[in-house]
């Protein structure tokens, strides 16, 4: 199948379109410097990933956004960071300022010329509203963990999105799921029968960064380092 044969693209948002790793580092770096600690970026990200993985097991039914206070507390205990209620609340509030990847806005505008674009995010509606504004409102439809009441990799998130869009005539063969996270997206989408496109934002870097690790990497149907490369493949008719 050519990429142009698809009709609807579903997108992970945090990590694929929004550079949450940059957002995290921008948030934590001043705390670390004020505390006089020596902690590199890789340690910040791996600590976050481990804390998120823990919260997925403890509170699988709440949006990622609402996990962030407990993620901060876990990281603060591990890294020696301050943990006042203001500090704890700050991580969630920082989501408003997490940046888009440099190619996200232009790429989404081009993809919208060819496909229906749907956000499929573990964030809540509040956070997705901020991300959408940052991305210049690219989505035709939005599905959040707040809507579904579970987080990816729970397959109910994908089922909910398909149900919403089935009334428009879309079938599984029409979909391409586009995501960065092997943990949250690529593995489960592939098992559900989706064609998947892995945007490997950390290509060339070691480890899984701020995302929880997986024991086995799922082979995607399409594999690019950037969203811009996906656009090039679409526009070339591949």
- Other beta carbons within 10 angstroms of residue 171's beta carbon come to 11
Q: What pLDDT shows up at residue 61? A: 85
CA dist., res. 14 & res. 185, Å (int):
11
pLDDT in tens, the chain (238 residues): 789 899 999 999 999 999 999 999 999 999 899 889 999 999 999 999 999 999 989 998 899 999 999 999 999 999 999 989 999 999 999 999 999 999 999 999 999 999 999 999 999 999 999 999 999 999 999 999 999 999 999 999 999 999 999 999 999 999 999 999 999 999 999 999 999 999 999 998 888 999 998 999 999 999 999 999 999 999 998 7
Q: Which residues are catalytic?
A: 12
Handedness of CA 172, 177, 182, 183 (dihedral sign): negative
- Angle (CA) 154 26 130, round 5°: 55
> Phi and psi at residue 126, in whole multiples of 5°?
-60, -50
3-state helix/strand/coil string of 127-151: HHHHHHHHCCCCCCEEEEHHHHCCC
C-alpha R_g of the chain: 17
The structure's pTM equals 0.95
Within 13 A of 77's CA, how many CA atoms are on the CB side?
Answer: 7
Helices 41-58 + 64-79 axis angle, to 10: 130
Task: Give the integer Cα–Cα distance in Å for 175 and 6.
Answer: 6
Sign, CA dihedral 122-123-129-134, equals negative
pLDDT at 232: 97
> What pLDDT sits at residue 100?
98
Rounded distance, CA 91 to CA 105, Å? 24
Give the C-alpha separation, 147 to 121, whole Å. 10
**11 bridge partner residues:** 119, 178
pLDDT at 2: 85
**Residue 51 CA, distance from chain mean position:** 16
Host H or E run for residue 31: helix 20-34
Q: Classify 139 in phi/psi space as left (phi over 0), alpha (psi -120 to 50) or beta.
A: beta
Report yes or no: 13 and 101 within 8 Å, Cβ to Cβ.
no
Residue 150: CB atoms within 10 A of its CB come to 17
């Amino acid at each position: 199948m050519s990429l142009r044969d698809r009709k609807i693209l579903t997108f992970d948002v945090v990590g694929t379109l929004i550079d949450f790793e940059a957002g995290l580092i921008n948030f934590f770096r001043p705390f670390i410097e004020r505390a006089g600690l020596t902690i590199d970026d890789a340690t910040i990200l791996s600590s976050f990933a481990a804390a998120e993985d823990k919260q997925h097991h403890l509170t699988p039914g709440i949006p990622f956004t609402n996990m962030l206070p407990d993620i901060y507390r876990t990281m603060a205990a591990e890294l020696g960071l301050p943990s006042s209620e203001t500090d704890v609340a700050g991580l969630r509030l920082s989501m408003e300022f997490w940046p888009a990847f440099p190619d996200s806005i232009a790429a989404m505008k081009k993809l919208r010329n060819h496909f229906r674009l749907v956000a499929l995010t573990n964030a809540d509606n509040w956070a997705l509203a901020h991300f959408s504004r940052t991305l210049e409102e690219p989505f035709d439809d939005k599905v959040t963990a707040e809507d579904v009441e579970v987080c990816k990799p729970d397959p109910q998130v994908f089922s909910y999105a398909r149900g919403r869009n089935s009334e428009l005539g879309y079938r599984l063969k029409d979909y391409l799921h586009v995501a960065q996270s092997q943990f949250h997206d690529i593995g489960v989408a592939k098992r559900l029968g989706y064609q998947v496109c892995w945007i490997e934002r950390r290509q060339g870097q070691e480890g899984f960064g701020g995302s929880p690790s997986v024991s086995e990497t799922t082979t995607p149907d399409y594999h690019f380092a950037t969203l811009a490369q996906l656009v090039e493949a679409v526009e070339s008719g591949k």
